[in-house]
């Protein structure tokens, strides 16, 4: 199995890779949430007349540029995550079909116990991390899409 990752955790029994998409989505979610809060705070300061209009315009323009750039990057990341989710789902389906066929062949007497165990032993260790990645991808994608605006309207 190959994977692109920027973070690796080693324990005596496990190697845990954190995929690039996971780190990027966490960073993007955090940054978009912060930028939204800052823009909301600016609106609040303007409404309560705690800052002058000129300063508000200057600050909101700088926040707007950063926000729009981050939204574009988040949309590209979401598209990339959807492609990966599709790939992982396809791999899970293929491996599951192979495993079911091996069990079917075993039940019908075409495979002996040892061959079935060999098939299971080669498929299941690959299937488990794929299922975990699919679950994680689905959850991260949902969270990312929740912080993405339906449409951008600032100032």
Q: What's the confidence (pLDDT) of residue 32?
A: 92
Give tens-digit pLDDT for 72-108. Answer: 999 999 999 999 999 999 999 999 999 999 999 999 9
> Which pLDDT score, from 0 to 100, does residue 64 have?
86
Q: For residue 12, what pLDDT is reported?
A: 75
Q: Tell me the average pLDDT of the chain.
A: 89
More confident: 102 or 63: 102
Higher pLDDT: 134 or 150? It is: 134
Contact of 77 with 28, CB cutoff 8 Å: yes
> Residue 152 — pLDDT band, cuts 50, 70, 90?
low
Contact call for residues 51 and 118 (beta carbons, < 8 A): no
Tokens 């996971």 correspond to what residue?
22
Q: What is the mean pLDDT of residues 45-56?
A: 92
Distance CA 136, CA 151 (A): 26
CA 83 to chain centre: 11
pLDDT at 8 over 70: no
């Amino acid at each position: 199995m190959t994977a692109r990752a920027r973070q690796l955790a080693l324990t005596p029994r496990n190697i845990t890779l954190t995929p690039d998409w996971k780190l990027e989505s966490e960073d993007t979610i955090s940054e978009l949430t912060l930028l939204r809060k800052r823009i909301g705070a600016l609106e609040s300061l303007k409404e309560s007349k705690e800052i002058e209009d000129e300063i508000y315009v200057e600050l909101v323009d700088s926040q707007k540029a950063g926000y729009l750039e981050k939204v574009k990057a988040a949309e590209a990341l979401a598209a990339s995550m959807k492609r990966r989710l599709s790939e992982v789902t396809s791999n899970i389906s293929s491996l599951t079909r192979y495993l079911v066929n091996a069990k079917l062949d075993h039940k019908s007497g075409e495979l002996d116990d040892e061959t079935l165990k060999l098939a299971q032993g080669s498929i299941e260790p690959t299937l488990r991390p794929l299922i975990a990645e699919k679950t994680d991808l689905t959850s991260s994608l949902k969270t990312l899409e929740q912080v993405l605006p339906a449409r951008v309207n600032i100032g």
